[in-house]
Amino acid sequence: MKIGVVTFPGSLDDVDAQRAVRIGGNEAVALWHGEHDLKGVDAVVLPGGFSYGDYLRCGAISRFSPVMAEVVEAAQRGMPVLGICNGFQILCESHLLPGALIRNDHRKFVCRDQRLRIERADTPWTSAYEAGQEITVVLKNGEGGYVADEATLDRLEGEGQVVARYLDHNPNGSLRDIAGVSNERGNVVGLMPHPEHAVEDLTGSGTDGLGFFTSLVEAVLA
């Protein structure tokens, strides 16, 4: 499959996401924020980083990039979209996902290996996992605290839109330990931790993150 990885000004983990896409057995297609062009890809990854320096609010300025108009439209049609870290923030700012991400409760950037539980294994990005499976991937963020009002949180839990949850230790003050959520349809997933840094034994925190990049094929074959 062809998976697009968008580069915004200030994207950092775009090369890593491309590598993970390749290691996952798919073709990585570089997409540029300034073009209204998804180059015929089957799915899109919005990578991590500090797009526009994270100035104003994380993702607030990138959301208005030309390419995002296309991503929003494609997502509404059902195209799989994965936002990692800064990409998650952009998806929330674009209103493709509910809630928002705020400064970590301890107010520091944190980089660590984080244990997660995959809560939902029926999205196109998580079908390689079992529901309830526990994995360890890299987490690194300064503004990763997931917040939404109580009603929204209850709805997310009720509808099964919580995709991943922090285990052992909540690293950023996210409400209900939420590490990732999806939209109602399940095709758009936002994740604060970085599965693309857990695809090789040599670098990062092991290979537990690979499933996010192999799921798509399985989803299609299934």
Binding interface with other proteins (CB under 8 A): 9-10, 12-13, 15-16, 19-20, 34, 49-50, 52-57, 60-61, 64, 92-93, 98-100, 102-112, 138, 140, 142, 145, 147-149, 173, 175, 194, 196-197, 200, 202-205
User: Among this protein's residues, is 169 annotated catalytic?
Assistant: no
Q: Select 76 or 203, whichever has its Cβ closest to other proteins.
A: 203
User: Among this protein's residues, is 194 annotated catalytic?
Assistant: yes
User: Which residue blocks in 11-160 are alpha helix, DSSP H?
Assistant: 14-23, 66-77, 86-93, 150-159
* Residue 34 dihedral angles phi and psi, to the nearest 5°: -85, 5
Query: Token pair of 92, please?
Result: 């929330």
Q: Select 77 or 108, whichever has its Cβ closest to other proteins.
A: 108
Least separation, in Å, of the C-beta of 222 and other proteins? Answer: 29
Q: CB 151: neighbour CB atoms within 10 A? A: 8
Least separation, in Å, of the C-beta of 174 and other proteins? Answer: 10
Helix H or strand E segment including 144: none
Longest dimension (CA), the chain: 43
C-alpha distance across the termini of the chain, in Å: 14
Q: Select 60 or 217, whichever has its Cβ closest to other proteins.
A: 60
Least separation, in Å, of the C-beta of 217 and other proteins? Answer: 21
**Which entry of 85, 92, 143, 197 is annotated as an active-site residue?**
85
Question: What is the C-alpha separation between 117 and 137, in angstroms, rounded?
Answer: 11
* Residue 129 dihedral angles phi and psi, to the nearest 5°: -100, 165
Least separation, in Å, of the C-beta of 173 and other proteins? Answer: 7
Residue whose token pair is 């491309």: 18
Least separation, in Å, of the C-beta of 211 and other proteins? Answer: 17
Q: Select 191 or 219, whichever has its Cβ closest to other proteins.
A: 191
Q: Select 148 or 189, whichever has its Cβ closest to other proteins.
A: 148
**Which entry of 58, 93, 143, 194 is annotated as an active-site residue?**
194
Name the residue among 222, 190, 179, 160 with its Cα closest to residue 80: 190
Question: What is the C-alpha separation between 199 and 123, in angstroms, rounded?
Answer: 19
User: Among this protein's residues, is 134 annotated catalytic?
Assistant: no
Where in the sequence numbering do the catalytic residues fall? 85, 194, 196
